[in-house]
Structure 1
Amino acid sequence: MTGDIQQPCTRRLSTWTTRRWLRVGVAASMAVLTLLGVTGAWVMGRTQSISNNLTDVRSPSLSTAFRLETALVNQETGIRGYGLTGIKEFLAPYRQGLADQKAHTQSLGELLRGDTARLNDLKAVQDAVARWQEAVAEPVATAPPGSLSSLAPGLLANGKGAFDEVRSALENQQGGLRADRAQARADLQSTVTLRNWVFGTIALLIVVLAALVFEGLRRGINRPLEQMGADARIIASGDFDHPITPTGPADLRRLSSEIDFMRRRLVRELAFTEEARLRLDAQAADLQRSNAELEQFAYVASHDLQEPLRKVSSFTQLLQRRYGSQLDERADQYIDFAVDGANRMQTLISDLLNFSRVGRVHNAHQSTDLDKTLKQTMSALSVAIEETGAAITHDPLPTLVADPSQMVMLWQNLIGNAVKFRRPGETPRIHITAAPEGELWRFTVTDNGIGILPEYAEKIFVIFQRLHTKDTYSGSGIGLAMCKKIVEFHGGTITIDPDHTNGTRMTFTLAPEPPQLPSPCATPEATRAEAEQAR
């Protein structure tokens, strides 16, 4: 039966959260501390009350009773001296004793207010004194000196018995006051002892309460969190199958369960990611092998295409020179078409080879002065610049870590396009700027040419995409695609400024140091083909 009662209680406690445990613990601690505080305050008040009664009532009452006794003794001494000698100077102590008696009696009445037993003792003293004064003291004090010889002996003889009653009343009064003071001292001592025990118990209970709070926090919060942290460290070390054991209050158990659910979810995601990574690795290996084969095919094919094209062009020109006089005008036109097609095919293959070499063959990064590469480009384009009278200006250009050959190709394509696509009858004006932008450098190449419509901003950077026919403007359609590839290889982007009018403004960025990219595979056959083609 007891076990059946304990199990529901245990189940109810297991549903308590950390907040509820803290609330109950704080409420219980406050109740205990409040009880201890009230008990301590009562003990302190009791001690203070007894101490005040001892110092303000009992001790002063006993002292005043002694002074009252002294005043009455002085009265008796004065009366006895006057009665025996008849000298009036002996009445001075009596008169002073009366005044002191009145004052001390009044003081005792105020000190003993509310204390019926001691007030009764005081009244007994006053009554005995009144009887002695009425029977002895006043008759002697008021009698003339001449009549004392006959009255004094009888009065003094009767006065001894009356004053003995006064002494007895005084002794009773002082005995009661001594007993009260002794009782007050005993009460004070017992109260101080009780106070010491109470405050010692309070200190002990505070220590025990602090120990219980510490142990409760350790068992209810620290230990579950340490267990959770240990499980998390095991999982972080690589054992993802290690479960997180729920312990502690209900909210910490829920947190552990949620973290364990997240662990299981991550395990599933990691398994899926690992499977996907293996698939991607296999696909990347296949793609790398395919790219290597395609590169080898492209290089060998392009190299092998050069020789037939050269033969077509050479033998067609020989045919024209040897048999030109025997052929009509239409045959000469056909021969010109064949030679022009072969030459354009050679140019296209050469440009395509240069495009494929970007980032693969030309990959010698070093400190490059862009001012110097720009001068080299202008020297290479000097004929076109002189024929058109182009005016090229530029801001100071920075020194970056880049491939010098690619920078020359970049400037050559951008400036060559600016010169080529000029407005008819207008001198080309080209200006180049450079300015830092965050961690990059931003460059612009602005001209006053025919311009590019915004809808073609993306198309012009696609290989073989042309906006004009070959009869209007010559070229292979690879130049801007090569610029984009060079810029991206150096960690930047390139685009046209759609807000610029009256010409074209090409804007691109370059990183101070290009990102580290894996070197593409180049087959020995392709490398030999390129070397032979370069020769």
Structure 2
Amino acid sequence: MTGNTRPPRAPWLARWTTRRWLRVGAAVSLAVLAVLGTAGAWVLARTETISNDLVDVRSPALTAAIRLESALLNQETGIRGYGATGTPAFKVPYTEGLAEEKTRTAQLAGLLQGDKARLADLEAVQDAVERWQERIARPIAAAPPGAPSPLATERAAEGKSAFDDVRAALGEQQERLRADRVQARDDLMSVTALRNGVFGAIAVLIVVLTAFVFEGLRRGINRPLEQLAADARVITDGDFGHPISPTGPADLRRLSGEIDSMRRRLVRELAFTEEARQRLDAQAAELQRSNAELEQFAYVASHDLQEPLRKVSSFTQLLQRRYGGQLDTRADQYIEFAVDGANRMQTLINDLLDFSRVGRMHNTHQSVDLEKVFERTVSALSIGIEEAGATITHDPLPTLVADPTQMGMLWQNLIGNAVKFRRPDRAPAIHVTAERDGDLWRFSVTDNGIGIAPEYADKVFVIFQRLHTKDSFTGSGIGLAMCKKIVEFHGGTIAVDTEYREGTRLGFTLAPEPPESPVRPVLPEAEGPGAEQTRRPRS
């Protein structure tokens, strides 16, 4: 058991994807916010209702009741003074009080509309005022001015009692209005506290919800992605055996599983590739060793065979000169065969020695002007060219970084073959082209000779391949094989243009600079005796 072992999730939760988690989280968040928004809206509406009732109804109603009381007191003071003195000036407060009473009564009726209890208090005040008006105020106000009203003295006690009833009704009204205002203020304070609590709870819940969403995203998405990235970095650093642990929602775990499956496949592919690379390295080492042994064998064999071959050639030639014509015809023929065979063997050994030196002895890369190399080659072949009546033309040739000796051998073999394998009924016409093809130079040597059949286009580059007898064309069959080796050593390729049927066209490419590791092909095995080139005979 490891320290970070987690309890297994419920099966239905384990099947939830990131999209489902996000949908459920968004739905729950919206539902909670909707509930909180509804509660907040209700609290705000309730606060506004109570605040409007307190400001627009309760406080103005209490103020109007107090002013109504003041108007009634003015009436009572004016009636009492007019009744005691009969002075008309005392009726002014009474008259003004009546107008103020009517205004405040109408105001209270409008403010208390729908409040039956307070309207009942207003009616009680109005009833008490009406009784006082009927028994005291209006009769005294109707008395003539100038003398005290006898009615004022007669009904003084009744007037006092009636106005005391008015005072009592006003007191009860104001007391209830004050109580209503206090209750409204208390309700407003309670709702305000509730509002503050609700919005505080909304703020806390939003913070908690944000933290929950953040933590959910971190645990459900960020942490699995970070774990996946960490595993990927470990694998990128070279530990391909490191497993990728599937974590998080179902889709991320599927992604981790697919990546881990890809990792396992890559491990298998890498193991197979490494095994193949090791086999290739072993084969390359064996090939290099075998190639070196073949080159060493060719070099040593050609040197070691020189002396005994010279002896065989010298003594057979001595036999031919001393005993020629003295023996029978068959003996002269045998001696001639021996001399010819020794000479041919000498030629083959020299050609094999030159072939083995390509890339080993001649490997001095420098700037080579192919124009000058071509001119020297034509000059060296001038006797054969003149005897064949050949015409040689060429395009401007470039300057390359190459081995000058190998370039001379290349042109000598190509031009020499074009002159040698000519048609008997026409003079050779040879043309050399050169053009830039991307990063390479592309050359072609075209002649009007006997041509090469398409089925032999590949075999002509195999060493010692001959289709013609030595009586038809001289040579050892190594020329085009040496050309192929030289071209490949300089990073190019060579091939026969099988579409050209008017003679032979050999195309090859050369790099402006030789590759760092020049191609050194294995010495191919001869498939049988034959001519230096396999030519397409005239029909």
The normalised TM-score by structure 2 is 0.72
Q: Which moved more, 1:73-82 or 1:58-67?
A: 73-82
| Separation (CA, whole Å) in 2 of partners of 1:307 and 1:497 | 42
Are 1:394 and 2:393 matched, yes or no? no
* Change over 3 Å in CA distance of 1:208–1:152 after alignment to 2: same
Whether the aligned pair in 2 keeps the contact of 1:493 and 1:510 (CA below 8 Å) is no
Where does the alignment leave 5 or more consecutive residues of structure 1 unmatched? 1-7, 522-535
Task: Give, in angstroms, the shift of residue 496 of structure 1.
Answer: 5.2
Q: Deviations over 1:131-181 (max 9, x none)?
A: 444444445555554687455655777555444444433333333232222
The answer on 1:444 being equivalent to 2:443 is: yes
**Per-residue deviation, 1:514:** 0.7
Q: What CA distance in whole angstroms lies between the structure 1 residues aligned with 2:102 and 2:477?
A: 136
Correspondence for 1:376: 373
Q: Quick check: 2:488–2:518 contact (8 Å CA) kept in 1?
A: no
| Alpha carbons 2:373, 2:404 under 8 Å: kept | no
- Match of 1:531? none
Secondary structure at 1:394 match in 2? coil
Q: Partner amino acid for 1:374?
A: E
* Alignment partners' CA distance in 2, 1:212 and 1:445: 77
Q: 1:298 matched to which residue of 2?
A: 298
| Residues 164-313 of structure 1: pairs in structure 2 closer than 5 A | 164-219=164-219, 285-307=285-307, 309-310=309-310
Task: Give the equivalent residue in structure 1 for 2:533.
Answer: none
The one-letter code matched in structure 2 to 1:508 is: T
Q: Which amino acid is 1:434 matched to?
A: E
Pair 1:430-2:427 in alignment: no
List aligned pairs for 1:437-516, cutoff 5 A.
437=438, 440-445=439-444, 447=446, 449=448, 457-465=457-465, 475-495=475-495, 504=505, 506-508=507-509, 510=511, 512=513, 514-516=515-517
- Please, which moves more after superposition, 282-291 or 169-178? 282-291
How many residue pairs end up in the alignment?
Answer: 507
CA contact (8 A) 2:348 2:476 kept: yes
8 Å CA contact retained: 2:418, 2:428: no
Which stretch has the larger CA shift, 84-93 or 284-293? Answer: 84-93
- Which residue number corresponds to residue 406 of structure 1? 406
1:405-462 deviation per Cα after TM superposition (whole angstroms, max 9, x unaligned): 434444444555566667865674635333252xx22423364645666665544444
- Cα contact 1:449–1:502 (8 A) shared by 2: yes
1:178 maps to amino acid: R
Structure 1 segment 118-197 matched on structure 2, within 5 A: 118-139=118-139, 145=145, 149-150=149-150, 159-197=159-197
Residue 76 and residue 340 in structure 1: after superposition, are their counterparts in 2 closer, same or farther (change >3 A)?
farther
2:434 is aligned with what amino acid? T
User: Which residue of structure 2 aligns with residue 44 of structure 1?
Assistant: 44
Relative distance call for 1:481 and 1:26 in structure 2 (3 A) is farther
SS of residue matched to 1:381? helix
Which string of whole-angstrom CA distances, capped at 9 and with x for unpartnered residues, describes residues 51-98 of structure 1?
333333333333343444444445555555665666666656555555
TM-score (norm 1): 0.73
- When residues 84 and 205 of structure 1 are mapped into structure 2, their CA distance, relative to the original with a 3 A threshold, is same
Q: Is the 8 A contact 1:390 1:419 kept in 2?
A: no
Bigger shift: residues 164-173 or 413-422: 413-422
Give the aligned residue type for 2:443.
T
Kept in 2, the 8 Å contact 1:83–1:156? The answer is: no
Write the distance in 2 (CA, Å) between the matches of 1:267 and 1:80: 118
CA distance in 2, matches of 1:434, 1:309: 46
Q: SS state of the match for residue 192, structure 1?
A: helix
Cα RMSD between the aligned structures?
Answer: 4.8
1:378-430, Cα deviation, whole Å (9 max, x unpaired): 222222667534222226x3644x44443444444455556666786567463
Per-residue deviation, 1:188: 2.1
- Three-state SS of the structure 1 residue aligned to 2:395 is strand
Q: Give the conservation status (yes or no) of the 8 Å contact 2:492–2:508.
A: no
Q: In the superposition, relative to structure 1, how do residues 243 and 325 fare at CA in structure 2: closer, same or farther (>3 Å)? A: closer
Correspondence 1:85-104 to 2 at 5 A: 97-104=97-104
Q: Please give the alpha-carbon distance, in whole angstroms, between the structure 1 residues aligned to 2:260 and 2:310.
A: 72
Q: 1:475 to 1:135 in 2, by over 3 A?
A: farther
Cα distance in 2 for residues equivalent to 1:490 and 1:242? 45
The Cα of 1:376 is off from its aligned counterpart by 1.7
Q: Is the 8 A contact 1:441 1:512 kept in 2?
A: no
- 3-state SS of 2:15 partner: coil
Q: CA deviation at 1:497?
A: 5.6
8 Å Cα contact 1:358/1:486 also seen in 2: yes
